[in-house]
Structure 1
Amino acid sequence: MSDSAFATQSRGSSEMATMNITPLVDVMLVLLVIFMIAAPVVTRSLPLDLGRGNGRSEPPPRVQLQVQADGNFLLDGVQLGAASLDAALRSVAQRSPDSVVQIDASGDADYQGFTTALASARRNGLGHIALRP
Protein backbone atom coordinates (compact mmCIF):
# COMPACT_ATOMS: atom_id res chain seq x y z
CA MET A 1 0.00 0.00 0.00
CA SER A 2 2.63 2.40 -0.90
CA ASP A 3 0.45 4.26 -3.43
CA SER A 4 -2.74 5.43 -1.77
CA ALA A 5 -5.48 7.28 -3.64
CA PHE A 6 -6.07 9.58 -0.68
CA ALA A 7 -2.54 10.69 -0.07
CA THR A 8 -2.22 14.42 0.35
CA GLN A 9 1.50 14.61 0.09
CA SER A 10 4.14 12.62 -1.64
CA ARG A 11 6.54 10.94 0.67
CA GLY A 12 9.62 12.63 -0.64
CA SER A 13 8.17 16.14 -1.04
CA SER A 14 7.63 18.62 1.75
CA GLU A 15 5.56 20.96 -0.44
CA MET A 16 1.87 21.53 0.29
CA ALA A 17 -0.72 22.46 -2.29
CA THR A 18 -1.90 26.05 -1.85
CA MET A 19 -4.59 28.03 -3.53
CA ASN A 20 -3.54 30.89 -5.78
CA ILE A 21 -5.44 34.03 -4.65
CA THR A 22 -3.84 36.47 -7.08
CA PRO A 23 -6.78 36.36 -9.55
CA LEU A 24 -9.21 36.91 -6.67
CA VAL A 25 -7.29 39.99 -5.51
CA ASP A 26 -7.20 41.33 -9.07
CA VAL A 27 -10.96 40.95 -9.47
CA MET A 28 -11.63 42.62 -6.11
CA LEU A 29 -9.41 45.59 -6.98
CA VAL A 30 -11.18 46.04 -10.32
CA LEU A 31 -14.57 45.96 -8.55
CA LEU A 32 -13.32 48.49 -6.00
CA VAL A 33 -12.25 50.88 -8.77
CA ILE A 34 -15.60 50.46 -10.54
CA PHE A 35 -17.55 51.26 -7.37
CA MET A 36 -15.32 54.24 -6.57
CA ILE A 37 -16.01 55.70 -10.01
CA ALA A 38 -19.73 54.86 -10.01
CA ALA A 39 -20.57 56.03 -6.46
CA PRO A 40 -20.44 59.81 -7.12
CA VAL A 41 -22.50 59.37 -10.29
CA VAL A 42 -25.32 57.54 -8.48
CA THR A 43 -25.81 60.12 -5.72
CA ARG A 44 -28.96 62.17 -6.04
CA SER A 45 -29.51 65.64 -4.78
CA LEU A 46 -32.71 66.74 -3.17
CA PRO A 47 -33.98 70.20 -4.13
CA LEU A 48 -34.39 72.09 -0.89
CA ASP A 49 -35.54 75.65 -0.39
CA LEU A 50 -33.95 76.86 2.83
CA GLY A 51 -35.89 80.10 2.87
CA ARG A 52 -34.72 83.41 4.20
CA GLY A 53 -34.54 84.47 7.79
CA ASN A 54 -36.60 87.45 8.83
CA GLY A 55 -33.74 88.94 10.81
CA ARG A 56 -35.58 88.58 14.09
CA SER A 57 -33.28 87.54 16.91
CA GLU A 58 -35.91 86.96 19.56
CA PRO A 59 -37.98 83.76 19.61
CA PRO A 60 -41.75 83.98 19.13
CA PRO A 61 -43.79 84.32 22.31
CA ARG A 62 -44.87 81.11 24.03
CA VAL A 63 -48.27 80.45 25.51
CA GLN A 64 -48.60 77.63 28.04
CA LEU A 65 -51.85 75.66 27.72
CA GLN A 66 -52.36 72.93 30.32
CA VAL A 67 -55.07 70.29 30.03
CA GLN A 68 -56.28 69.21 33.45
CA ALA A 69 -57.91 65.96 34.49
CA ASP A 70 -61.25 67.61 35.33
CA GLY A 71 -61.68 68.88 31.74
CA ASN A 72 -60.66 72.47 32.47
CA PHE A 73 -57.70 74.31 30.99
CA LEU A 74 -54.99 76.61 32.30
CA LEU A 75 -53.84 79.25 29.80
CA ASP A 76 -50.72 80.90 31.23
CA GLY A 77 -51.98 80.13 34.73
CA VAL A 78 -55.57 81.38 34.17
CA GLN A 79 -58.29 78.78 34.73
CA LEU A 80 -60.61 78.37 31.73
CA GLY A 81 -63.50 76.13 30.84
CA ALA A 82 -63.97 74.47 27.48
CA ALA A 83 -66.44 77.18 26.41
CA SER A 84 -64.10 80.12 27.12
CA LEU A 85 -60.98 78.47 25.62
CA ASP A 86 -61.81 79.57 22.06
CA ALA A 87 -62.19 83.23 23.04
CA ALA A 88 -58.95 83.22 25.02
CA LEU A 89 -56.97 81.61 22.18
CA ARG A 90 -58.54 84.02 19.68
CA SER A 91 -57.28 86.98 21.71
CA VAL A 92 -53.81 85.41 21.85
CA ALA A 93 -53.84 85.00 18.06
CA GLN A 94 -54.91 88.63 17.58
CA ARG A 95 -52.13 89.91 19.85
CA SER A 96 -49.41 87.78 18.28
CA PRO A 97 -50.30 85.45 15.38
CA ASP A 98 -46.91 83.75 15.44
CA SER A 99 -47.21 82.66 19.08
CA VAL A 100 -46.21 79.12 19.95
CA VAL A 101 -48.84 77.25 21.94
CA GLN A 102 -47.22 74.71 24.22
CA ILE A 103 -49.82 72.10 25.17
CA ASP A 104 -49.14 70.19 28.35
CA ALA A 105 -51.57 67.45 29.34
CA SER A 106 -51.50 66.07 32.85
CA GLY A 107 -50.99 62.33 33.16
CA ASP A 108 -54.57 61.62 34.13
CA ALA A 109 -56.21 64.01 31.62
CA ASP A 110 -58.46 62.39 29.06
CA TYR A 111 -57.68 62.35 25.37
CA GLN A 112 -60.76 64.41 24.51
CA GLY A 113 -59.46 67.39 26.46
CA PHE A 114 -56.17 67.23 24.59
CA THR A 115 -57.87 67.07 21.19
CA THR A 116 -60.17 69.94 22.19
CA ALA A 117 -57.16 72.10 23.04
CA LEU A 118 -55.38 71.18 19.81
CA ALA A 119 -58.44 71.82 17.63
CA SER A 120 -59.18 75.11 19.35
CA ALA A 121 -55.63 76.38 18.80
CA ARG A 122 -55.72 75.50 15.11
CA ARG A 123 -59.22 76.87 14.63
CA ASN A 124 -58.16 80.24 16.00
CA GLY A 125 -55.15 80.58 13.70
CA LEU A 126 -52.40 79.40 16.01
CA GLY A 127 -50.47 77.00 13.81
CA HIS A 128 -47.26 76.75 15.83
CA ILE A 129 -48.00 74.08 18.41
CA ALA A 130 -45.52 72.37 20.69
CA LEU A 131 -46.34 69.29 22.72
CA ARG A 132 -44.77 68.79 26.09
CA PRO A 133 -44.22 65.18 27.21
Structure 2
Amino acid sequence: MAFSSNSEGGAPMADINVTPLVDVMLVLLIIFMITAPMLTHKISIDLPQPTKNQKPPENPPAPIKLKITQNGSLYMNDTPVSESDLKLQLEVYAAKPVEKQPEIQIDANDNAEYDVVAKVLSDAKSVGMKKIGFLNTDQ
Protein backbone atom coordinates (compact mmCIF):
# COMPACT_ATOMS: atom_id res chain seq x y z
CA MET A 1 0.00 0.00 0.00
CA ALA A 2 1.47 3.39 -0.99
CA PHE A 3 0.80 6.52 1.04
CA SER A 4 2.46 8.98 -1.28
CA SER A 5 2.92 9.29 -4.97
CA ASN A 6 6.56 9.95 -4.32
CA SER A 7 8.82 7.60 -6.22
CA GLU A 8 11.58 7.80 -3.60
CA GLY A 9 9.87 5.39 -1.32
CA GLY A 10 9.54 6.36 2.37
CA ALA A 11 10.53 10.07 2.19
CA PRO A 12 7.92 12.52 3.55
CA MET A 13 6.02 14.80 1.22
CA ALA A 14 7.47 18.31 0.87
CA ASP A 15 4.26 19.96 -0.34
CA ILE A 16 2.75 22.83 1.67
CA ASN A 17 -0.85 22.48 2.79
CA VAL A 18 -2.47 25.71 1.55
CA THR A 19 -5.98 25.02 2.81
CA PRO A 20 -5.54 26.89 6.16
CA LEU A 21 -3.97 29.82 4.28
CA VAL A 22 -6.94 30.00 1.92
CA ASP A 23 -9.36 29.85 4.87
CA VAL A 24 -7.62 32.75 6.64
CA MET A 25 -7.54 34.81 3.45
CA LEU A 26 -11.27 34.27 2.88
CA VAL A 27 -12.08 35.34 6.43
CA LEU A 28 -9.94 38.49 6.00
CA LEU A 29 -11.65 39.23 2.69
CA ILE A 30 -15.08 39.00 4.34
CA ILE A 31 -13.97 41.26 7.21
CA PHE A 32 -12.65 43.90 4.78
CA MET A 33 -15.80 43.68 2.68
CA ILE A 34 -17.92 44.38 5.75
CA THR A 35 -15.79 47.18 7.21
CA ALA A 36 -14.90 49.03 3.98
CA PRO A 37 -18.35 50.63 3.50
CA MET A 38 -18.21 51.96 7.06
CA LEU A 39 -15.04 53.90 6.28
CA THR A 40 -16.67 55.87 3.48
CA HIS A 41 -19.22 57.70 5.67
CA LYS A 42 -18.48 61.40 5.80
CA ILE A 43 -18.55 63.32 9.06
CA SER A 44 -19.14 67.04 8.81
CA ILE A 45 -16.91 69.05 11.11
CA ASP A 46 -17.36 72.76 11.56
CA LEU A 47 -13.79 74.03 11.97
CA PRO A 48 -13.07 77.61 13.04
CA GLN A 49 -11.96 79.83 10.20
CA PRO A 50 -9.02 82.22 10.58
CA THR A 51 -9.76 85.93 10.67
CA LYS A 52 -7.49 88.59 9.28
CA ASN A 53 -8.24 91.30 11.87
CA GLN A 54 -7.66 89.15 14.90
CA LYS A 55 -6.37 90.89 18.01
CA PRO A 56 -3.40 89.33 19.78
CA PRO A 57 -4.45 87.47 22.91
CA GLU A 58 -4.26 89.38 26.14
CA ASN A 59 -2.16 88.19 29.01
CA PRO A 60 -4.20 85.79 31.12
CA PRO A 61 -4.92 86.88 34.68
CA ALA A 62 -2.70 85.53 37.43
CA PRO A 63 -4.02 82.22 38.79
CA ILE A 64 -5.54 81.92 42.24
CA LYS A 65 -3.46 79.52 44.34
CA LEU A 66 -5.76 77.82 46.83
CA LYS A 67 -4.04 75.63 49.41
CA ILE A 68 -5.95 73.14 51.54
CA THR A 69 -4.00 71.90 54.53
CA GLN A 70 -4.31 68.63 56.40
CA ASN A 71 -6.55 70.14 59.09
CA GLY A 72 -8.87 71.73 56.50
CA SER A 73 -7.54 75.29 56.62
CA LEU A 74 -7.83 77.27 53.40
CA TYR A 75 -5.15 79.64 52.12
CA MET A 76 -5.87 81.83 49.10
CA ASN A 77 -2.58 83.13 47.66
CA ASP A 78 -0.87 82.34 51.00
CA THR A 79 -3.49 84.33 52.96
CA PRO A 80 -5.76 82.45 55.40
CA VAL A 81 -9.39 82.58 54.34
CA SER A 82 -12.61 81.08 55.66
CA GLU A 83 -14.91 79.03 53.49
CA SER A 84 -17.60 81.73 53.36
CA ASP A 85 -15.03 84.43 52.46
CA LEU A 86 -13.62 82.17 49.78
CA LYS A 87 -17.05 81.75 48.23
CA LEU A 88 -17.61 85.53 48.25
CA GLN A 89 -14.25 86.15 46.57
CA LEU A 90 -14.95 83.47 43.98
CA GLU A 91 -18.27 85.14 43.20
CA VAL A 92 -16.38 88.35 42.37
CA TYR A 93 -14.03 86.47 40.03
CA ALA A 94 -16.91 84.54 38.46
CA ALA A 95 -18.73 87.78 37.57
CA LYS A 96 -16.00 88.48 34.99
CA PRO A 97 -16.21 87.07 31.46
CA VAL A 98 -14.77 83.58 31.04
CA GLU A 99 -11.72 84.90 29.17
CA LYS A 100 -10.79 87.16 32.09
CA GLN A 101 -11.50 84.67 34.88
CA PRO A 102 -8.35 83.51 36.64
CA GLU A 103 -7.67 79.81 37.00
CA ILE A 104 -8.09 78.32 40.46
CA GLN A 105 -5.10 76.10 41.18
CA ILE A 106 -6.00 73.85 44.11
CA ASP A 107 -3.11 72.41 46.11
CA ALA A 108 -4.68 69.93 48.51
CA ASN A 109 -2.60 68.13 51.10
CA ASP A 110 -2.49 64.36 50.63
CA ASN A 111 -4.07 63.88 54.07
CA ALA A 112 -6.75 66.58 53.71
CA GLU A 113 -10.32 65.43 54.17
CA TYR A 114 -12.19 64.78 50.96
CA ASP A 115 -15.24 66.68 52.23
CA VAL A 116 -13.29 69.95 52.39
CA VAL A 117 -11.93 69.53 48.86
CA ALA A 118 -15.36 68.54 47.53
CA LYS A 119 -16.98 71.56 49.23
CA VAL A 120 -14.42 73.94 47.68
CA LEU A 121 -14.97 72.42 44.23
CA SER A 122 -18.74 72.61 44.69
CA ASP A 123 -18.55 76.26 45.75
CA ALA A 124 -16.34 77.18 42.80
CA LYS A 125 -18.65 75.41 40.36
CA SER A 126 -21.83 76.87 41.88
CA VAL A 127 -20.63 80.48 41.59
CA GLY A 128 -19.68 79.95 37.93
CA MET A 129 -15.91 79.47 37.89
CA LYS A 130 -14.89 77.74 34.66
CA LYS A 131 -11.13 77.23 35.07
CA ILE A 132 -10.33 74.88 37.92
CA GLY A 133 -7.10 72.89 38.16
CA PHE A 134 -5.10 70.87 40.64
CA LEU A 135 -1.46 71.21 41.58
CA ASN A 136 0.69 68.23 42.45
CA THR A 137 3.40 69.42 44.79
CA ASP A 138 5.39 66.53 46.19
CA GLN A 139 7.01 67.67 49.38
Gaps of 5+ in 2: none
Q: Deviation string for 1:28-54 (max 9, x for gaps)?
A: 333333333333224597968666489
Give the structure 1 partner of residue 17 of structure 2: 21
Give the structure 2 partner of residue 31 of structure 1: 27
Superposed CA RMSD: 3.6
Aligned length: 125
Structure 1 pair 21–101 and aligned structure 2 pair: CA distance change class (3 A): same
Gaps of 5+ in 1: 1-7
Larger Rg: 1
Give the structure 1 partner of residue 83 of structure 2: 82
Structure 1 pair 16–127 and aligned structure 2 pair: CA distance change class (3 A): same
Aligned counterparts of 1:80 and 1:94: Cα–Cα separation in 2: 20
Aligned counterparts of 1:46 and 1:60: Cα–Cα separation in 2: 38
Q: Percent identity?
A: 16
Q: Under a length normalisation based on structure 1, what TM-score does the superposition of the two structures give?
A: 0.66
Give the structure 2 partner of residue 3 of structure 1: none
